[in-house]
A and B are shown apart, each in its own frame.
Chain A
Amino acid sequence: MEHTSTLEKVLRASALTAVVIFFMFPIFWIILMSFQTNETILRVPPSMIFEPTLSNYRGIITGQLETNAATLEINFMRNLWNSVFLSVSSVAVALALGVPAAYAFARHKFRGSEDIAFTLLSFRFAPPLLVLLPLTLYFQQIGLADTYFGLVWVYQLICLPLILWIVRGYFEDISPDIEYAYRIAGHSWFATFRKIALPLAGPGIAAAGLLAFIFAWNNFIFALVLASADKQPVTVGALAFITASGIQYGQIAAGIVLSVAPTLALALYAQRYLVEGLSLGAVKG
């Protein structure tokens, strides 16, 4: 098994190179584009040699996009802020609601607990539009249309099942004996939960929160259906951006780079958590 031939080594290396090129090239190319003006992007043949410019980023950050005809005012930073706000508050709400529930499901096998847990998990797999389309009509009636509150609520559809199932698995892995010992020593239920259970499940809670953040950030369909222009996150904002006439290609690329940078940075920073989280704990990474 150990004596691999040179031919095999070469084949392996070239296969891996092809894999890396296929998966990395688009990101690399978009980053290159974001530092170019329209003139260098439109060159034939395309080339990697050009004088880098920051004008695309400057335009996007100040909201004044220079085009050939005029200066367009597009507030992409607003989209970026919406993404941050929606993702952070959705994850915060989901953690506040989901962690105690996960603890209840893990520690107390009460009547219907399995059924409830399954129902919650099945939300993760139902077609989102099935819920979103009636919700648009309801939201208009009850005045939640186009509010952050309504959006954060609907985002629970992504965040809550994820947190519930991952964190529940972590709580189940902790031996209840430690908690019993602490209880017998005269501490209240809440103190036990806060001082013993929460810290022990800490890594699981962090992993679930991170993953929920990434899924919330990357979500497209919820905001497309429910949010108006001033509440849209980057995923929806970028689409409007690309179809607006006269925008320079480098500016689109810069917008995309700014939109994907946060999740990519998080993924690289916390990659060891992701494997287990992605498989909902089905595989120990």
Chain B
Amino acid sequence: MTIDQQHIASAFDRDLEGLQALIVRMGGLVEDQILKGAQALTDRDAELAEEVRNKDAAVDALEEQINDEAGRVIALRQPVSTDLRVLLSVLKIAASLERIGDYAKNIAKRTSVLAEMRPISGADAALRRMAREVQLMLKDMLDAYVRRDADLAEAVRLRDEDVDQMYNALFREFLTFMMEDPRNITACMHLHFIAKNVERMGDLATNMAEQVIYLVTGEMPGHARPKGDQTAFMAAGDQED
């Protein structure tokens, strides 16, 4: 349930709106970090990678600001019901965004190493597609958050399966490249970590979408969502299904 009415204490409304504006700003920044990280990887652009690494401090600072202000609102306003859920979701979403920011930074770090190695054919483009998909999930999640749209959040939640599938495919590819030529191992290990990081970003976007559903409905989505990551069961030499 959502209530459009305003609080009698209008400063409370301003506090809540301010916090949500910070989340949107942080979300936009993190989206940007993902895209730039992926671009730096495909272009082997060390300068852009460096920019992404430095920008992570801004993401962390936003999270800290959100935590401080949310704590303050909780202490001063004793929020209940929808207001309380807004604050809980603000805290959780900020923590997830911060984590995604860390993964983006890690991609940038590995990019500087990978720039010195010979490319693995097709891997960069596939990783970039995967990162693009996760960035879109994040964007839709933030739209769902701002619009209090539980249906859109549910759609985002289900899209994580696609990201998992992309990760499975890449996992197999990297295994193949490494078996073909051991000189590929270093690059493939780095690329695999990047793929895993992007896959984790998808999981976090899913968690945030669940927070949006909780915010709107008051309940966490109960039914299990399809899980696509099969790599825990894969070994080198497994045949393709």
To the question of whether A and B form a pair in one complex, the answer is no
